[in-house]
Amino acid sequence: MFGNHDPVQRNGTGVRVLPYGDRALLVEVDGPDAVAGVRRALELAPLPGQRELVPAARTVLVVLDRPPADLDVAALRRLRPADTAPTGTAPLVTVPVVFDGPDLADVARLSGGSVPDVVAELTGVELTVAFSGFAPGFGYLTGVPPDLHVPRRVTPRTRVPAGAVALAGPYAGVYPRSSPGGWQLVGRTDAVLFDVHRDPPALLAPGARVRFREGG
């Protein structure tokens, strides 16, 4: 297992395999599309003893029930990212949003447009849940128009209310519950993002397509 502790192993397809202790490997690719492809490929053809996949911005963590072996590294390096669900077949989730967030004017200013422009842009695109994290049911949504890629707030808020719709970097997200947060708040929704009594519990699970619709 990583006798040479080679930190980076790369193949021709841009898939890198990094060591991650005695129960996991980290697969690094170039972006969210490749992450989705790697995740799909490993769902279709899991490694022996594969226990869990944790997709993130540029990586998929592959958790095993045993120590990783050289064979696993080789298999992951050979991995061809699978076609992810073509548009139209993944579930589409429509989230009703009231666009009255405290940072909406700042976001408009940063984007060089008006508040109605921002709302039109955010409701006019189809977003995709790239991965989850931060809190149960918090999905990182990709597909945000580039002029709305805004920095985090310099000073995070100590309390962001549940249902707040927010932007940061290339992502949009909806806070599943009240928590501290540094994203720019543009609106709010009544949709329940996470409910342990629902199956599936997360409204926005990786792979889902999302549209914001203006209105309560």
Partner 1 sequence: MLTVLAPGPLTTVQDRGRPAHAAIGVTRSGAADAPAAGLANRLVGNRPEAALLEVTAGGLRVRAARTVLVAVTGAPAPVEIDGRPAPFAAPTTLRAGSVLALGTPPRGLRSYVAVRGGIDVPPVLGSRSTDTLSGLGPPPPAAGTLLPVGSLAGDEPVVDVAPVGSPPDRPVLRVLPGPRRDWLAEAAWTALTTAEWRVGSDSDRVGLRLTGPRLDRARDGELPSEGIVPGAVQVPPDGAPVLFLADHPVTGGYPVLAVVLTADLPLAAQLRPGDAVRLRPA
Q: What residues make contact with partner 1 under the rule CB under 8 A?
A: 2, 5, 7-8, 18-24, 26, 28, 51-61, 63, 131-138, 194, 196, 200-202, 205-206
**Based on CB atoms, which residue is closest to partner 1, 73 or 119?**
73
**Based on CB atoms, which residue is closest to partner 1, 116 or 180?**
180
CA nearest neighbour of 211 among 91, 36, 39: 91
- Can you tell me the distance from the alpha carbon of 52 to that of 49, in angstroms, rounded to the nearest whole number? 9
Angle between helix 115-124 and helix 104-111 axes, rounded to 10 deg: 90
| Shortest CB 120 distance to partner 1, Å | 29
Q: What share of the chain is helix, strand, coil (3-state, %, to 5)?
A: 20, 35, 45
| Shortest CB 137 distance to partner 1, Å | 6
Q: 18 in the Ramachandran plot: left (φ > 0), alpha (ψ -120 to 50) or beta?
A: beta
Residue 81: strand, helix, or coil: coil
- Can you tell me the distance from the alpha carbon of 25 to that of 27, in angstroms, rounded to the nearest whole number? 6
| Shortest CB 47 distance to partner 1, Å | 15
| Shortest CB 100 distance to partner 1, Å | 26
**Based on CB atoms, which residue is closest to partner 1, 152 or 211?**
152
**Based on CB atoms, which residue is closest to partner 1, 198 or 213?**
198
| Shortest CB 135 distance to partner 1, Å | 6
**Based on CB atoms, which residue is closest to partner 1, 99 or 131?**
131
